Structure 1
Amino acid sequence: MTPLLATTLTAAAILSLIILIGWVRLNPFVTLFVVSLGLALVTGMPAEQAINAFEAGMGHVLGHVAGVIALGTMLGKILAETGGADQIALTISRFAGKKRLNWAMMVIGLLVGLPVFFEVGFVLLIPLVVILSRRNQLAVPFLAFPMVAALSVTHAMVPPHPAALLAITAYHANTAYTLFWGLVIGTPIAAIAGPLYGYFCVPRLGRIEPTALEEQFTSQSPHARLPSFTLSCATLLMPVVLMLGGAVAEQLWPKTALAYRVLHFLGNTDIALLCATLMAFWLLGSLSGLSRETVLRFSNTCLAPTASIMLLVGAGGGFGRELTESGLSHAMTSMALSAHVPLLVLAWLLALLVRVATGSATVATTTAAGIIGPILATSHSVSPELLVIATGAGSVGLSLMNDAGFWQMKEYLGMNLSQTLRSWTVIETLIAVLGLLICLPLSWVIPA
């Protein structure tokens, strides 16, 4: 298949999704399923292989995200019902003031996002965003956009995230230098794509109706006594600390050491969230006088609104797998390699194309780094640290319907397809473009 045909087919599939979901108003899950199978059959895949590819892609993504969404939602529900989220919201409001809450959420996103995946940081912080918005009569996206921009920046550009670490290995970059430059470059990018773009974007989005998830985080009655700020923060940040401990263990001990095995186990995404959720059930629940039956009811009922989110996230993974197995992703990568451009731009472009083709920032970074690494080893034409950051920046651009984050943003915030494209997709693309525009001139002055 020629690169031009591959690009045309991919663009046609994405356009079909936009028309069917946004204009025809077909169910998004059904649309993703139909378009994915149609795309696979058009490229010549046998029908059975096309179905198997969709199922495998859906299962792979849900294996990573279903537990995160479920446990994160339960943790958020208990924090909301016991007043823990209220206590954090009140403290942040007093410290930052109403006019600076969006900047405060950006800083919180940067701190929480350092050791955790985007999906984990999102489900941890979205209840806090909703409650802060309600308490201060602000639109939820006004606080959500700075938070997600910061989470996305750290996920893409800053170690110890796995994709960044793999790129560091492929480019033989220095981890400490990459961390330093990732924060120096990523912080202003998060500020522009988050709070500053939010000032422009939010008033132009139009009305957004409250979602079932938003209602469940804010529908509880006022609390006579709130848990302490320290206890509430300890519960919210417990997964962050455990995951950070797992990352530190990888640097300090061999894999056979007991400390490594314990911390690496506790630092697993699902285990860290499970520990925090159980802590919230026991500690916050008992302090607030909730019975075991009440805690059970909260943890069961809060999962109902997440069912459609999980289905859409999984279907996006199936769409991405069809693009990969049909050869469309490989063809677009070949097209980028044939372009005669600087290595930094080539790494960014490869990551961006794989991101569009697969929907995964992690896959985009690792694929691009695997291709560019051997080229860098022979040319030494650019700083490997900047190359890591530019590759990560490209890996988050143009978030579309095959990206799990796209559907999380749309469903949690209650936006329609057009609103999600004009906000979330633009935020991600701003991060990608700004990353390249900052890294490129820096590469002329920072030695290779």
Structure 2
Amino acid sequence: MTRLSVEMLAADTVEPITSAGHAQLGIAVLLGIAVIVLLITKFKLHAFLSLTIGSLALGAFAGAPLDKVITSFTAGLGSTVAGVGVLIALGAILGKMLADSGGADQIVDTILAKATPRSMPWTMVLIASVIGLPLFFEVGIVLLIPVVLMVAKRGNYSLMRIGIPALAGLSVMHGLVPPHPGPLVAIDALGANLGVTLALGVLIAIPTVIIAGPLFSKYAARWVDVPAPDRMIPQRASEELEKRPGFGATLATILLPVVLMLAKALVDIVIDDPDNVVQRTFDVIGNPLIALLAAVIVGIFTLLRPAGFGKDRLSGLVEKGLAPIAGILLIVGAGGGFKQTLIDSGVGQMILEISEDWSIPALLLAWLIAVAIRLATGSATVATVSAAGLVAPLAADMSTTHAALLVLAIGAGSLFFSHVNDAGFWLVKEYFGLNVGQTIKTWSVMETIISVVAG
């Protein structure tokens, strides 16, 4: 997807489910978020139930018909699970294969042998940035987190000291560097040059990821000192394996989805013709679902066979790999449901209407609009599309460099302070075994640092 116009996306939008004014809608958003936080922190209610109740409360406070609120919530939950759930499941299966075959141990042992304690955070941010270049954030998470958790556990490192650099590398690539969908949408809307935006995006990404990753992780590790959660670390089979797959075969299996998705992105940029057979072929094999599925199938031959696994053990391995992620899928899905309820209530449109009267420099205006929509809806994509559509007229007389910087300002703003209305917030919380407060102190602050530094 190299050309996705804002007009096409706007055509798909529907009328808000409530006719509430700006004041009532703003209060409803604050109260809805407050209900979720209160239920989780004060009453210790499960996050899935809290998000469900909070979504219904938001609709009620905004004066929306309950049936429409339910429809919005279930649609958001369904689309989130459809888009992310299968990827999480495939990633869990691949992680279990890596663990039981000894492949993950091979990777972790090699990293621990090569990297010193001082260089470990820098090693993780480099790995995450390279892997995150062609990947969606959620795909990078499911590929990297098992390795992050095992490195932290085996090397006795602080989880935040290792995890924050990995998350920073993934997030910066996702928000600032094409061929990720967000930057591509903004490039198309503003008529910016893709090559110039890519070059400037990488240039800005380097200092941003250093500050938000290895440097901030020192403070995050002091604020939140938690061990790697055992329930999220793929457990080895009880018996010791006589042999395990080689480092090269294991690394090639992990990188296979990365290569396939990167190839798709490059073909989309070079050919840019939806009817071209080559592009359509790479659109299929570079789809995240197909790419991860291919890695799982290849892993049977590169990981399980060398470790002596027979066909009879594959079914049990898949079942054990999927078991720990049921709760995560529900929580992430409910986060998507809450986000969709916000969007359908007209929160994004409210921000756009309010911002029309702001008289400030174009770059700052674009960043602030993206920040406001990100805070209100929890969606970086919605923030990017909405902000790009609003400031597009300003880019008409801009130089090539200035237009590219406008794209990056929007991308930076779209990452600002992820919190309870963002499905990514819950994904990080559950994978790292954190509570809401700890997630805000680490993940949310890291996202804010990225947004401010890059903006």
TM-score using structure 2 length: 0.91
Q: C-alpha separation between the residues in 2 aligned to 1:310 and 1:24?
A: 22
For 1:412, which of 431, 435, 450 is the aligned residue? 431
2:244 counterpart of 1:226: yes
Contact 1:58 1:314 in 2 (8 A): yes
Within-5 A mapping of 1:289-300: 289-300=308-319
Contact 1:153 1:431 in 2 (8 A): yes
Alpha-carbon deviation of 1:83? 1.5
Between 255-264 and 221-230, the greater mean CA deviation after superposition: 221-230
Q: C-alpha separation between the residues in 2 aligned to 1:220 and 1:190?
A: 39
**1:16 equivalent in structure 2:** 35
Q: Deviations over 1:125-183 (max 9, x none)?
A: 11111111122111222211100011000000000001111111111112121111111
Contact 2:96 2:321 in 1 (8 A): yes
2:181 counterpart of 1:166: no
**1:443 equivalent in structure 2:** none
Q: C-alpha separation between the residues in 1 aligned to 2:348 and 2:57?
A: 16
**1:142 equivalent in structure 2:** 161
Contact 1:352 1:397 in 2 (8 A): yes
For 2:263, which of 228, 234, 245 is the aligned residue? 245
Contact 2:125 2:213 in 1 (8 A): yes
Cα 1:159–1:140, aligned 2, differ >3 Å: closer, same or farther?
Answer: same
The answer for unaligned runs of 5 or more in structure 1 is 437-448
Within-5 A mapping of 1:85-124: 85-124=104-143
Cα 1:349–1:217, aligned 2, differ >3 Å: closer, same or farther?
Answer: farther
2:53 counterpart of 1:31: no
**1:63 equivalent in structure 2:** 82
Q: Deviations over 1:220-278 (max 9, x none)?
A: 65543332221111100100000011111212333333322221110001000000011
Q: Deviations over 1:11-56 (max 9, x none)?
A: 2222222121112111211111111111112212111111111111
Contact 1:57 1:314 in 2 (8 A): yes
Q: Deviations over 1:287-308 (max 9, x none)?
A: 1101222222111111111111
Q: C-alpha separation between the residues in 1 aligned to 2:201 and 2:23?
A: 34
Aligned residues: 435
Contact 2:261 2:287 in 1 (8 A): yes
**2:222 equivalent in structure 1:** 203
Cα 1:256–1:172, aligned 2, differ >3 Å: closer, same or farther?
Answer: same
Within-5 A mapping of 1:270-349: 270-349=289-368
Q: What root-mean-square deviation, in Å, do the aligned CA atoms of Structure 1 and Structure 2 show?
A: 1.8
Alpha-carbon deviation of 1:62? 1.2
Cα 1:223–1:141, aligned 2, differ >3 Å: closer, same or farther?
Answer: farther
Alpha-carbon deviation of 1:434? 1.1
Alpha-carbon deviation of 1:392? 0.7
Identity %: 39
Between 280-289 and 114-123, the greater mean CA deviation after superposition: 280-289
Q: C-alpha separation between the residues in 2 aligned to 1:156 and 1:362?
A: 9
Q: C-alpha separation between the residues in 2 aligned to 1:164 and 1:220?
A: 46
Matched residue type, 2:262: L
Matched residue type, 2:200: W
Alpha-carbon deviation of 1:383? 0.5
**2:370 equivalent in structure 1:** 351
Cα 1:378–1:220, aligned 2, differ >3 Å: closer, same or farther?
Answer: farther
TM-score using structure 1 length: 0.93
